[in-house]
Chain A
Amino acid sequence: MGDATETFYGVIRRQGITRRSFLKFCSFTAASLGLGASSIAHALETKPRVPVIWLHGLECTCCSESFIRSAHPLIKDALLSMISLDYDHMIMAAAGHQAEAILEETRARYKGGYVLAVEGNPPLNEGGMFCIDGGKPFVEKLTSMAEESMAIVAWGTCASWGCVQAAKPNPTRAVPIDKLITNRPFIKVPGGPPIAEVMSGLVTFITTFGKLPKLDHQGRPSMFYSERIHDKCYRRSHFDAGQFVEEWDDTNARKGYCLYKLGCKGPTTYNACSALRWNGGVSFPIQSGHGCLGCSEDGFWDKGSFYDRLTTIKQFGIEQNADEIGMAAAGVVGLAVAAHAAVTAAKRLRHRPDRPAHKGKPS
């Protein structure tokens, strides 16, 4: 359990890190967040470390897996020095009643002063019985810890939008966290999982300034989610040039042309993949030759094929996309028009009606 009066700077000096290295770290983080290095250094020297409670609901742990691969800042710095991660049953040493006791202790001791990070979401059907954690429905643990938190961080698409467990028909009625808890400051960090540096960058921001960064209309941090994959895609020049991969194994695929025609969701997906990339900046899906799935967008499981730009429309009985429906409807209308014209022609051939007065009667 971390001591609330301890500062980040105090901890890392104790671990033998020089002031020079500390300032280097501050400059690097400041650059990645677009801030001044001195403000970060000042905050880390004076502000107490923020206690973080990290809960796991219905999830796949991909957010934790991503988080522990953060390179800038290194995850060891984030976990051991910057924040006081008091509870996270994935990586904590305590277990059983000992672990659960930490929750109660943090809730009482740091009332309104801890950050609640949630990975996954709560299922509400059957009183929340589809996700039992520590002998109780997860939804109870979540609401009780949320009540006294300073802010809630929704890690990943599960906590932000619902993801696969909330996809139709959603038998457990899994809901995104903000549908359940509406009265706390809330930040969505969607992605399946979010990029490691996005996660650790946010942790740095929140612990440094003790507040949430600027959010967009959908509650996502603007600094990482204000541009689409498409806007920073390195294959954008091929899109503009009209050079597309037509099939997965064609020459254009080998040349690295744009994957738009194979259903890349880059143009409708807000995330930082094409700017920050993954695994310490090594690559991201499009660079590896596959279109974006749009995993950080709302309801991406329910939008039909991953390989089609248009959402599948199921209301017509058979699964169709907008263009197929539109073309069929236009065809029907065209046929109706032709039939109407044919009937008119036939009637006129049979007997010519008297022409009405040229201007018609006044209305």
Chain B
Amino acid sequence: MAVQTPNGFNLDRSGKRIVSGGFLFGYIRFAHFSAGYVLSAGFLLRIYWALMGNAHAMQIFCVPLWRRCFWRELHHEIRRYSFLAVEPERGLGHNRLAQLAMFFMFTQTITFMVVTGFALYGQGAGTDSWQYKVFGWVFSLWPNSQDFHTWHHLGLWVIVMFALVHIYAVLWDDVVSRRSFPSIK
């Protein structure tokens, strides 16, 4: 007589797992894929907001590297994080250092993760799936998808690093300058 546990394993009478019934890794993969879809939808919404929202909404998609004032403000912000300056440069929106990090570590990485994620997903969904038709072109860059598998892993670690720095900077800025999100009431 077999019993199924909540995590999907079938157990025999002595409590040992029966081979056929489990779907644990399938559920883990399902969680991964659904999170990917939610992330992609959210990112599309963010792009829409960049186009339709106020001036600050565009900040993480467009970094004015060609403006002199950008570099001056960036320099000031680096000095501030190195404890050499106290006053923040800008009052509203991301500071220039944050903007740079958001663009290169968040916006670019998420775009890369969405594209490679759907391409790898398309391999499983089949060459006739819409995911493969829309994103399968990436495999003409590197024919062996093992490379994308590897870079998709690296991308995760970039996001982990970004999250660490991002959350710390928000809290730090709040403690030091009382201007960050947590202080807005």
Residues on A lying within 8 angstroms of B by beta carbon are 161, 216-218, 222, 226-228, 230-231, 237-243, 255, 265, 267-268, 294, 297-300, 303, 309-311, 313, 321-323, 325-327, 329-330, 333-334, 337, 340-341, 343-344, 347, 353, 355-356, 358-363
Contact = CB atoms under 8 A, between A and B. Distances in A.
B22 A242 contact: yes
B19 A322 contact: no
Contacts, number: 148
Nearest to B89: A363
B6 interface: no
Contacts of A347: 83
Interface in B3-23: 8-9, 17, 19-23
Contact of A322 (B87, B89, B151, B177): B151
B109 to A, nearest CB: 12
A78 B179 CA distance: 79
B32 interface: no
A360 B89 CA distance: 9
Given A239-B25, A241-B22, A359-B179, A340 B157 contact: no
Contacts of B183: 358
Most buried by B among A228, A238, A241, A297: A241
A298 B141 CA distance: 12
B146 A265 contact: yes
B146 A303 contact: yes
B18 to A, nearest CB: 10
Contact of B25 (A226, A240, A267, A341): A240
B23 A326 contact: no
A363 B88 CA distance: 10
27 contacts: A161-B143, A216-B127, A217-B136, A217-B139, A218-B143, A227-B126, A228-B124, A237-B19, A242-B26, A242-B28, A243-B17, A255-B19, A294-B144, A311-B146, A322-B150, A322-B153, A323-B153, A325-B157, A333-B161, A333-B164, A337-B168, A341-B172, A343-B83, A347-B83, A358-B178, A360-B179, A363-B93
Most buried by A among B136, B146, B179: B146
Q: Which 7 pairs of residues, A with B, have the shortest CB-CB distance?
A: A326-B157, A241-B22, A242-B25, A242-B24, A360-B91, A298-B143, A240-B26
A321 B92 contact: no
A297 B146 contact: yes
Interface of B: 8-9, 17, 19-26, 28-29, 81, 83, 86-93, 123-124, 126-127, 136-137, 139-140, 142-147, 149-151, 153-154, 156-158, 160-161, 164-165, 168, 172, 175-179, 183
Given A322-B154, A359-B91, A360-B177, 11 more contacts: A218-B140, A240-B26, A268-B146, A297-B146, A303-B146, A326-B158, A340-B172, A344-B172, A356-B178, A363-B89, A363-B90
A220 to B, nearest CB: 10
A308 to B, nearest CB: 10
A142 B8 CA distance: 57
Contacts of A237: 19-20
Contacts of B17: 243
A282 B130 CA distance: 35
A230 B87 CA distance: 57
A322 B8 CA distance: 31
Given A322-B157, A362-B92, A268 B144 contact: yes
A240 B23 contact: yes
Nearest to A358: B178
